Chain A
């Protein structure tokens, strides 16, 4: 099955700096790559996603890039703010048995220091 590796596991940045989280996936058939943000005591929430026919997508301060050849994708957060502090999960989705099966990375705990 699909295997998603994510790093780093923890990341501390100064407010205003950029943060980058990287993921790799194993199954070249994966075609959808969502990123989720999980705040303390809450469930994960989708913040941005990218499909395999797109190389880059941007939404205000966050952007994702996808390199299908190398099977890796990244999340970039610019001008970080304290409210960006959370755990971020990457995921890869593959069509399996008639539905999209999502495999999550282990998560990155991001701390933005004011």
Chain B
């Protein structure tokens, strides 16, 4: 069945290291979202892509975070250098049509920075 696939599911890294999270959106979907989930802040939108172009990354710390879509089947979220406060679950979601609004979420990447 169609689903959003995220890798890795879990990542433990040391402070200062680069972290790359990957997402394969559902085939045919033209919108991709990156969210960060923490107990304190809940779900926060980091970036939004439509047709592989970034439309909104205002929620993303620009100095260390970057998001790209090298092609329609791959979205990446990179943190360099990582910090302990980046520890969270990062979700990718995709959608078919901006007018329909529904986002299909992946299972997330649980990141721990020590």
Spell out A's residues near B (CB within 8 Å). Answer: 32, 34, 36, 41-46, 49, 89, 93, 96-107
Give min CB distance, A48 to chain B, whole Å. 11
Contacting residues, chain B, for A104 (C-beta < 8 A): 42-43
Give min CB distance, B16 to chain A, whole Å. 28
A sample of 16 more A-B contacts (CB under 8 A), given A34-B101, A43-B107, A46-B104, is A36-B105, A41-B107, A43-B93, A43-B106, A44-B43, A44-B105, A46-B103, A49-B102, A89-B42, A99-B50, A99-B56, A99-B98, A100-B98, A101-B48, A102-B45, A107-B42
Taking the complex as formed, is B4 at the interface, i.e. its CB lies under 8 A from any CB of chain A? yes
Contacting residues, chain B, for A101 (C-beta < 8 A): 45, 48, 56
Spell out B's residues near A (CB within 8 Å). Answer: 4, 31, 42-43, 45, 48, 50, 55-56, 91, 93, 98-99, 101-108
**24 A-B contact pairs sorted by A residue (CB < 8 Å):** A32-B101, A34-B101, A34-B102, A36-B105, A42-B107, A42-B108, A43-B105, A43-B106, A43-B107, A44-B43, A46-B102, A49-B101, A89-B43, A99-B31, A99-B98, A100-B99, A101-B48, A102-B45, A102-B103, A104-B42, A104-B43, A105-B42, A106-B42, A107-B42
Contacting residues, chain A, for B105 (C-beta < 8 A): 36, 43-45
Q: Are A93 and B42 in contact, CB atoms less than 8 angstroms apart?
A: no
Contacting residues, chain B, for A106 (C-beta < 8 A): 42
Contacting residues, chain B, for A42 (C-beta < 8 A): 107-108
Give min CB distance, B91 to chain A, whole Å. 5
Contacting residues, chain A, for B55 (C-beta < 8 A): 97-99
Contacting residues, chain A, for B101 (C-beta < 8 A): 32, 34, 49, 93, 100, 102
The complex places the Cα of A106 from the Cα of B36 at a distance, in Å, of: 12
* Cβ-closest chain A residue relative to B6: A43
The complex places the Cα of A97 from the Cα of B48 at a distance, in Å, of: 11
Q: Are A97 and B56 in contact, CB atoms less than 8 angstroms apart?
A: yes
Give min CB distance, A102 to chain B, whole Å. 7
Looking at B42, B55, B91, the one whose CB has the most chain A CB atoms below 10 A away is B42
